[in-house]
Amino acid sequence: MKIGFIGAGNMATALATGIGEPALVSDVVPGRAQALAKELGGEAVSSNAELAERVDVVFLCHKPGGLAQIAEEIDADAVVSIVGGTAVADVEAAYPGAAVYRFMPNIPAEVREGVLCYVRGGRASEGPEAEILELVGRVGIVIEVPDESMDAATALMGCAPAFYALVVEAMVDAGVRAGLQPADASRMAIETMRGTATVLRETGGDTAGLRGRVTSPGGSTARGTAALERGGIRAAFSDAVDAVVRR
């Protein structure tokens, strides 16, 4: 299956890199298209129309405001959209003759540890759905969600890498203030986050069980957790998710 990416920004690059197939690439910034095409072993093309003519599936990775204009430029039978904040119905209205598949990937897709939320278009079964799911499944887990839940999903898995990075920064800063070397504090925070995620995955997301195994009554973890609760950690994350959904 020949694939092409219209748009070569950060999320498109993460997804394309994780998929790992040569692809055609177009972008409003020619140098960006050339850079991604070189990384993929593919080809940068000068127009969206040329790209669509030469591929089997078009990945829409452009800004939301470009949906109508780009749809007028190309003819596509199968469209994968990662256009932010754009419902399947809107993409189908722009591409009435195409099978449409909406995904929201996250940055860890580039190392094949991503999460992709998926919404099937009304004509998905008429197109190469199995082949598309195989391609994107290479970059991580695929979770099918209702279209109306995509904003909430974006907050939890699309924005969360930045939220988690902020947590790591805060932990590192605290560790350095307590006397650790920055490199050691960074390695401890990152590797502990990675290991904790693995334990939670293996135990079916049993956060209470994990906390219980680490926390002794009146011990260090209990005191630290109490400090986090006093600092409003739950409210802060709730506010962050609400801010994304309300956008």
Has residue 75 got a pLDDT over 80? yes
What digits encode the pLDDT tens for the residues 176-203?
Answer: 999 999 999 999 999 999 999 999 999 9
Looking at residue 11, its pLDDT comes to 95
Q: Looking at residue 26, what DSSP letter applies? A: E
* Sheet containing strand 114-120, strands side by side: 43-44, 24-26, 3-6, 57-60, 78-81, 99-104, 114-120, 140-144
pLDDT per residue over 132-154, tens digit each?
999 999 999 999 999 999 999 99
Looking at residue 62, its pLDDT comes to 97
Q: What is the pLDDT of residue 247?
A: 74
Residue 72, pLDDT score = 96
First-to-last C-alpha distance (Å) of the chain: 36
Q: Domains for the chain: give ranges and CATH numbers.
A: 3-146 (3.40.50.720), 160-246 (1.10.3730.10)
At residue 32 the predicted structure's pLDDT band, cuts being 50, 70 and 90, is: very high
Say if residue 175's pLDDT is above 80: yes
d(CA 12, CA 127): 22
Q: Is the pLDDT of residue 119 over 90?
A: yes
Name the residue among 157, 159, 7 with its Cα closest to residue 81: 7
